[in-house]
Amino acid sequence: MAIYAIGDLQGCYTDLQNLLNKLNFDSSTDTLWLAGDLVNRGPDSLKTLRFIHSLGDRAICVLGNHDLHLLAVAEGIKEAKDDGLDEIIEADDGDVLIDWLRHQPLLHHDHNLEVTMVHAGIYPKWSLQQAISHANELEQILRSEHYHDFLNVMYGNEPANWSNNLSGMDRLRFICNSLTRMRYVHLNGRLDLVDKGSPGSQLEDCKAWFDIPKRLTSKNPILFGHWSTLGQVDTPNIYPLDDGCVWGGKLTALRIDIQPMQYISIECATHKNPGEN
């Protein structure tokens, strides 16, 4: 009864199956945690989504920015730049898959393991309980009849500073950006949603979100994907999962039901080159 957390799949179905074979994954007893970005860019988004959906309770997913983008494309808010997204939307079971995706959480916390998974990270000024609460605010909207209203205003980098007084769609956009897009944060707490490179390439007054001084979740183990150029880090309780599979890097799983947790990876084919959409 193993539990494995896996980083961004982005439609790399064959690589996922190769990794599961290496893990000797048994869908009758083992569980997969998936850190978002199940689709987009890779060659088999539909097959990937169908497989994860077929696992039922054996798959625990959080939404990533590419998953949310699929929801926006399905609503006609954005145009697909990836044929794989259109393939999902046009599939006979497309409505079922998209509705299932829309009901996935933005944050998953396991009280027994005391481990939390998000796609991008947790804003440094939020405690774990605050992060859970804020994620739930957006989850309720995405699962309601008002989800189109949010998707219509989801894109954008502002507001970039958190305030408890934020309200409406501005509040929801900040929550969304923090959980699904964040990498760097200015020392004054302002999100930097432009820099995407590895640590050392960012602006002087920015740090990786998990290295911001006095971060309120520093004692909480956090698993996350989203940052393919990050690599492994020395920050305690921080477990990156995205090793750039779609770019020809690795697809990585972290076994989280044992101590110490154990990383297992496979090499992946190059499906996209940097600079491509």
* Each residue's pLDDT tens digit, 139-195: 999 999 999 999 999 999 999 999 999 999 999 999 999 999 999 999 999 999 998
| Average of per-residue pLDDT across 99-108 | 98
Q: Is residue 108 part of a domain?
A: yes
* Each residue's pLDDT tens digit, 56-97: 999 999 999 999 999 999 999 998 888 899 999 999 999 999
Helix (H) or strand (E) holding 101: helix 94-102
Q: Is residue 275 part of a domain?
A: no
Question: In the chain, how many domains are there?
Answer: 1
Q: Is residue 35 part of a domain?
A: yes
Q: Is residue 190 part of a domain?
A: no
What is the CATH classification number for the domain harbouring 27?
3.60.21.10
Q: Is residue 121 part of a domain?
A: yes
Q: Is residue 274 part of a domain?
A: no
Q: What's the confidence (pLDDT) of residue 270?
A: 87
Q: Is residue 238 part of a domain?
A: yes
Q: Is residue 197 part of a domain?
A: no
Three-state SS at 91:
coil
Token representation of residue 67: 């998953």
pLDDT surpassing 60 at residue 235: yes
Q: What's the confidence (pLDDT) of residue 236?
A: 96
Chain centre distance of CA 99:
18
Which residues, including other chains, have CB under 8 Å from residue 41's CB and lie 6 or more apart?
10, 11, 66, 82, 84, 246, 271, 272, 276, 277
* Domain range enclosing 78: 3-154+165-180+214-267
Q: What's the confidence (pLDDT) of residue 250?
A: 96
The residue with tokens 């074979």 is 21
Task: Kindly report the pTM of this predicted structure.
Answer: 0.95
Mean pLDDT of the chain: 95
